[in-house]
A = this chain, B = another copy of it.
Amino acid sequence: MRMRSRLTAGGTCPGSLREDVGATAILFAVFVRYDPDADAALWHWGNRSSSDNEFYFRYPSFQDVHVMVFVGFGFLMAFLQRYGFSSVAFTFLLAAFALQWATLVQGFFHSMHGGRIHVGVQSMINADFCAAAVLISFGAVLGKTGPVQLLLMALLEVLLFGLNEFVLLSVLGVKDAGGSMTIHTFGAYFGLALSRVLYRPQLEKSRHRQGSVYHSDLFAMIGTIFLWTFWPSFNSAPTMPGDGQHRTSLNTYYSLTASTLSTFALSALVGEHGRLDMVHIQNAALAGGVVVGTSGEMMLTPFGALAAGFLAGTVSTLGFKFFTPVLEAKFKVQDTCGVHNLHGMPGVLGALLGVLVAGLATHEAYGDGLGSVFPLVAGGRRSATAQAVFQLCGLLVTLTFASVGGGLGGLLLRLPFLGPPPDSQCFEDRIYW
């Protein structure tokens, strides 16, 4: 049985990757061009100062996001005692794949100019964001899916991510810079729906491998801490230059400190004899970044950021303690990394916070900056209340896309020739390495 699993997975993986790489390359050749800030002829045609190049407003933040995607997610998932290679390396594989594919999908939806997709530092950030959503879904099925299944999941998820993002940002005019909805809510519920369809009643056979050991928890903390330190860049990377990026990073910074303190407090409170739980620290402390993903660019106020982070850390820690067991026992959703607690609930909270803060927007609070944050409101085409309603619609659309898409994805991944690991070999590196 183990042998077959390897053969199948191995035999198909290079084949599917080769075909994909070929198809992607052709699409790149036909459609993808440098945007004017990255093109030698177009940039110099404008006679602009070098310091006006978009690169200098976004590249340092892009690099932080890049580290979060590859180091942060990769090592955070390395907490499993015998799945460290696969956690880090499949993150590497999936994210690299998603970056290429998202460039095309997001390009078709958002940045076609004269039949060509323009790429530059903004498209690099957007593609990394899409990869983050794929990795969140990966967290839900970690250890229970083979690389071919994961690549297929990424193929489908990137498509739906692009479509959902298009509906929210371009059709509904929703604001969601740091992706409480488009990234966290979408990625979490897509992964959870997928995990539900792939439910393994016999997972007990591998349960002894589902925990961590001392060193694997330290490796996971590398992931946690890099995610935590760079999250202000994640939320601010795509916002408007100037006060927009400044305020977003500040709000995220405060929200994260609050979620960290509430996580420690709650973890000790619900722990046996007041002890702390490494799972909470590794995950729930990050919920403060998720919860201000929508409202971080708005005039949330530093107090609002603290309160949001405190709430998110609390909800996330309680989720890990009390809700994850219920999720598996009652709803048959096996959520390896607890993405429901870190990305799902805090993402929904973040979307609702966005509804609230958008609804409270006034010309007085934003001044001439209202046009940057809420262009439709500033232009008189929408009231702040209407913007809030659209924000709420955005959440509902996202939940629908994610759960339906994840369900379909799960059915697809049940195709027998995709080489899933047997129940007794889940959370095990040895079958792939």
Contact = CB atoms under 8 A, between A and B. Distances in A.
Given A34-B302, A71-B226, A226-B71, A261 B40 contact: no
A49 B41 CA distance: 25
- Chain A: number of interface residues, binned into ranges: 35 or more
A262 interface: yes
Interface stretch (A15-23, A170-178, A181-189, A391-399): A15-23
Contacts of A32: 301-303
A40 B246 contact: no
A18 B276 contact: no
A127 to B, nearest CB: 9
B261 A41 contact: no
Contacts of A258: 21, 25, 100
B71 A229 contact: yes
Quick one: copies of this chain in the complex?
3
B247 A34 contact: yes
Interface stretch (A50-58, A160-168, A202-210): A50-58
A37 interface: yes
Q: Select the residue from A74, A249, A299 with max chain B CB neighbours within 10 A.
A: A249
Interface of A: prevailing SS: helix
A225 B52 CA distance: 31
A84 B218 contact: yes
Contact of A261 (B21, B70, B225): B21
B24 A306 contact: yes
Given A32-B303, A34-B247, A274 B10 contact: yes
Contact of A432 (B7, B97, B275, B307): B275
10 contacts: A21-B310, A28-B302, A41-B366, A53-B246, A63-B64, A66-B229, A66-B232, A84-B218, A93-B260, A121-B246
Interface of A: 3, 6-11, 13-14, 17-18, 20-21, 24-25, 28-29, 32-34, 37-45, 48, 50-57, 59-61, 63-64, 66-67, 70-71, 74-75, 78, 84-85, 88-89, 92-93, 96-97, 99-100, 103, 119-121, 124, 147, 214-215, 217-219, 221-222, 225-226, 228-230, 232-233, 241-247, 249-250, 253-254, 256-258, 260-262, 264-266, 268-269, 271, 273-278, 281, 285, 299, 301-303, 306-307, 310, 364-370, 372-373, 431-433
